[in-house]
Amino acid sequence: MRVFVIGFGQAGGRVADTFLDFAKKTRQKFIGHTLVINTARADLMGLKNIPLEDRLLVGESKTRGHGTGADTELGGLVAADEIYTIQSEIDKRGTHQIDAFLIIAGLGGGTGSGGAPVLARRLKKLYEEPIYGLGILPAKDEGGLSALNAARSLMTFVNEVDNLFLFDNDAWKKGGESVKEAFEEINEEIVRRFWILFAAGEANEVGQMVVDAAEVINTLKGGRVSTIGYASEEIEREGVFKKLFGKKETMENLDTVTRITSLVRRAAAGRLTIPCDVSTAEKALIIAAGPPTELSRKGIEKSKMRIEELIRGKEVRGGDFPLVKGQHVSMIVLFSGVSDIPRIKELQEIGAKHRGR
């Protein structure tokens, strides 16, 4: 699957930057094009991997290149004013080899929270490819303005994209550290989960049950909000000592079927990108990534049955992503169309209180 990655605002730009860094280091070809859009010149110049020609400063007449100051209405206004400039930059890069667009934005700021829904609306009118959003929710200690911005943006963004992935900073922050201190680690956690989803079908090796772009798109179709679970396990390599004296029966040495089913259980029951009741999901997709010898068709089939039980018999797809030089077996479980999300309810209450004033 080839994705046109668009980072909007500071947080969106940083995540897009991390995506590109990961793609370069691993030589994975899931990114078709990148574009980072911001109203703050300093944020654009602070990126490490996005080429200069893929950084677009907008709204200079309104912000003088200093950002929107967390003003989500100003962010939306700038995006609307500059929409033809943004569209031109996207058209220059071409979309003939693109399977989908991914617009990444932090929903607690001004530029991304206001601009991302405007851009999504425009792209949906122009292109046949699905438009996905990745919205990053602010932690509770980021303040009331961030929460209000997220409440406003979320309700708009979810209606403008074909599916909205959510990542809740509050659920991933470590105790005693601010989100600012933790953003690099958080961004890596985001990319670690999403690259498997978007790189599906781009492997050089033929898998036992290959997941292609169409299966990802069909799983996300009509889902509104999605969350992803992840689990990974390092593959134990046999050394001389072990060859001579035998292997200890550890988790790493269990058969591939058991490993796959165990990883699926851990991914589904562990920390999700947005905590929710996964039994409310409309569809699900499991993808196992790792060396071909460590993947199991039977394990994937058994895991699909388990997830079907979890989401009460609804549509579940599954497959593998062979990585010849991989040193881990990693698993993602995508739950599409989830509806019981406590954090969204909190944000909706914040938005309702503000409207009532």
Span 101-132, pLDDT tens digits: 999 999 999 999 999 999 999 999 999 999 99
The separation between the first and the last C-alpha atoms of the chain, rounded to the nearest angstrom, is 46
H-type alpha helices, the chain: 9-26, 41-45, 60-63, 72-81, 83-93, 111-126, 144-160, 169-172, 179-199, 213-220, 240-245, 256-269, 297-310, 342-355
The answer to whether 106 and 11 are in contact (CB under 8 A) is: yes
The answer to whether 263 and 174 are in contact (CB under 8 A) is: no
Candidate from 79-88, 136-145, 296-305 with smallest mean pLDDT: 136-145
Predicted local distance difference test score (pLDDT) of residue 200: 81
Number of Cβ atoms within 10 Å of the Cβ of 127: 15
Predicted local distance difference test score (pLDDT) of residue 237: 66
Query: To the nearest whole percent, how much of the chain has pLDDT over 70?
Result: 90
Instruction: Indicate the pLDDT class of residue 253, thresholds 50, 70 and 90.
Output: very low
The answer to whether 289 and 331 are in contact (CB under 8 A) is: yes
- For residue 105, the cross-strand partners are 8, 135
The answer to whether 276 and 338 are in contact (CB under 8 A) is: yes
Mean pLDDT of 216-239: 89
Mean pLDDT of 31-55: 97
Domains, in order of start, for the chain: 3-199 (3.40.50.1440), 228-336 (3.30.1330.20)
Dihedral angle, C-alpha 190, 283, 221, 114, nearest 10 °: -40
Q: Phi-psi category of 263—alpha, beta or left, where left has phi over 0 and alpha has psi -120 to 50?
A: alpha
Candidate from 25-34, 159-168, 243-252, 254-263 with smallest mean pLDDT: 243-252
Span 145-183, pLDDT tens digits: 999 999 999 999 999 999 999 999 988 877 666 656 678
With a cut of 80, say whether residue 248 has pLDDT above it. no
With a cut of 50, say whether residue 242 has pLDDT above it. no
Using CA atoms, how far apart are residues 224 and 72, in angstroms rounded to an integer? 22
Span 2-31, pLDDT tens digits: 999 999 999 999 999 999 999 999 888 899
- As a whole number of Å, the CA-based R_g of the chain is 21
Number of Cβ atoms within 10 Å of the Cβ of 226: 29
- For residue 137, the cross-strand partners are 168
